[in-house]
Amino acid sequence: MDHDLLADLGGQFDETIGSVESREAVLDAICAAEATAVVTTAAYGEGHKGLMRAGEVDASRAMAINVDGLRHVLEAAQEAGVDRVVTTGSSVVFGPADNYPEGRVDESGARRPRTIYGLTKLLGEDLIQYYRDRHGMDACSIRLPIVLGPGLWYQGAASAISGVIGGAAPGVRHQVQFHDLPIDLMHVGDVARAVVAALVSAKPLDAIYHINGFSARLSQISAAASALVPGYVVDHQVTPPANTFPLMDDGRFRRQFDFVPEYDLDGLLRAQINGASA
């Protein structure tokens, strides 16, 4: 990354520079922090490519970080006596949406990834299950939808949606090429709240969870942004999707943790548009 997304929080936390590719470095960091729980969100990205595109470009690096890197974190946590590990998975473990029945898919849905990134996330879930079964570790993978909000630095599906939101200004005509199928979306703040909810829960964790903020089509996002910003026009050229995924049923997570996202579509747009104009 070319910029530090946590620069404004400098001095409020300790920082160790390293890589999950080094098991020893991870173990040292866990021990130095005297950690009792671990969150890992490490994933391979190259420049401003999206995570899926980066995985297709360099499968070896994606495997090294997304799979072996997670294994190193789990090994180090187990050696250090850390009982709880939470990692971020993804809906990309699923296959194309038309391979599934209509409606939403819960955590038991068949995993049939068609990308290297999706494959690495599937293997990561298997690692989580292995450490639960062999070592009794209270570990879980939280499958994320497309994440929106401040700090998005890469180009992928989220960037097309963020472009519609970030371009909202009176008199602006924004052009975008994207499909118009419904997709699961979540504000990054709600993602963080969900991860913390799992991290601090007094209840044992399940191996896999779905989380989601809301679902919408790009046409709905465009219309809502135009309604909030008079004079803003979105020229949406509907194109075939590069990938499709089934919508996720996040009922298990909501019930177990009494979790309710703070941001719906309107709330996310207001936060992003007002933040951009502040």
What is the spatial distance between Cα 19 and Cα 5, in angstroms, rounded to a whole number? 17
Question: What average pLDDT does the segment 113-138 reach?
Answer: 98
* pLDDT the model gives residue 52: 86
Q: Can you give 201-249 as a three-state secondary structure string?
A: CCCCCCCEEECCCEEECHHHHHHHHHHHCCCCEEEEEECCCCCCCCCEC
Q: Which of 162, 160, 67, 46 is nearest to 113 (CA)?
A: 67
Question: What average pLDDT does the segment 30-57 reach?
Answer: 91
* pLDDT the model gives residue 150: 84
Angle between helices 157-166 and 218-228 (to 10 degrees): 20
Beta bridge partners of 238: 178
DSSP 8-state assignment for residue 95: -
What is the spatial distance between Cα 30 and Cα 82, in angstroms, rounded to a whole number? 9
Q: How many CB atoms lie within 10 A of CB 117?
A: 25
* pLDDT the model gives residue 40: 98
Which two structure tokens, joined as six digits, stand for 246? 């089934």
Give the side-chain half-sphere CA count within 13 A for 4: 7
Domains of the chain: 19-277 (3.40.50.720)
For residue range 173-230, list pLDDT tens digits in order: 999 999 999 999 999 999 999 999 999 999 999 999 999 999 999 999 999 999 999 9
**158 confidence band (pLDDT: 50, 70, 90):** confident
CB 142 within 8 A of CB 88: yes
Give every CB contact of residue 65 below 8 A, 6+ residues apart in sequence.
19, 20, 21, 42, 43, 44
For residue range 79-89, list pLDDT tens digits in order: 999 999 999 99
What are the E-state strand segments in 5-152?
Answer: 37-40, 84-90, 138-144, 146-148
What is the spatial distance between Cα 76 and Cα 79, in angstroms, rounded to a whole number? 5
* Mean pLDDT (the chain, rounded): 93
Question: What average pLDDT does the segment 145-159 reach?
Answer: 79
**Residue 277 pLDDT > 50:** no
Question: What average pLDDT does the segment 93-111 reach?
Answer: 96
CA dihedral 261, 267, 272, 276 (to 10 degrees): -140
**Residue 108 pLDDT > 50:** yes
Question: 31-40, 110-119, 146-155, 203-212: which has the minimum mean pLDDT?
Answer: 146-155
**Residue 278 pLDDT > 60:** no
What is the spatial distance between Cα 112 and Cα 174, in angstroms, rounded to a whole number? 35
